[in-house]
Amino acid sequence: MFDSKITKKLISEEQIQQTVSRLGKEVTEHYTGIDQELLVVGLLRGSFIFMADLVRCIELPLCVDFMTVSSYGDGTISSGDVKIIMDLDTSIEGRDVLLVEDIVDTGKTFSKVIRMMNNRNPNSLKVCTFLNKPECRTADVTVDFCGMDIPNEFVVGYGLDFAQQYRNLPYVGVLGE
């Protein structure tokens, strides 16, 4: 079985659905009354499953876009130099933007993405993450909409991967060795 290296189930399918539904309501409430469509931007690849579920729970006119960034190059340790691999198709200038991430841990790369996005002059920029590891944070990142805080364990499933594997698990589990 391909998930035999999962040592424990951290978040069940039911908990995921409840969390995404709650976040959708929070986002809807926050952005109700804006003058234009909300622009929801996902960071690929990890956020795609969460973002697909989230946008279906947001009861507002919206459009979606994606970007891919990297700070790893060919190594396994972040260089700290964020490179845009795939940029947005949509201008964010003057727009209300919700930046969606699967997990925020150290925040190093994500804080640089937020700075890059703010330099594009959005009307507003808010952050929504499914999972948050506050005890890992080494960079200043404000999470406006948080699914849940989790302990400092390596997790996979529901879009989160290890070497591009496990993204399709319907739950979030802790990966063992």
For 103-121, the DSSP string reads: EESS-HHHHHHHHHHHTT-
- Note if 105 is an active site residue: yes
Cα 115 from chain centre = 16
Rounded to whole angstroms, the Cα distance separating 96 from 38 reads 6
Whether 1 maps to a domain, the answer reads: no
Quickly count: other Cβ atoms within 10 Å of residue 147's Cβ: 23
Looking at every residue in the chain, the average pLDDT score rounds to: 90
For the domain that residue 166 is a member of, what is the CATH number?
A: 3.40.50.2020
106-144 pLDDT, tens digit each: 888 889 899 999 999 999 999 999 999 999 899 999 999
Q: Is 127 exposed, middle or buried (0-12, 13-18, 19+ CB in 10 A)?
A: buried
The domain tally of the chain equals: 1
Of 53, 96, 102, 105, which one is the catalytic site residue?
105
Element (H, E) at 41: strand 38-44
What is the C-alpha to C-alpha distance for residues 150 and 19, in angstroms, rounded to an integer? Answer: 13
pTM attached to this predicted model: 0.91
Q: Is residue 156 situated within a structural domain?
A: yes
Domain membership of residue 124 as a residue range: 6-175
Confirm whether 113 is domain-assigned: yes
Q: What is the pLDDT of residue 108?
A: 87
The residue type of 89 is D
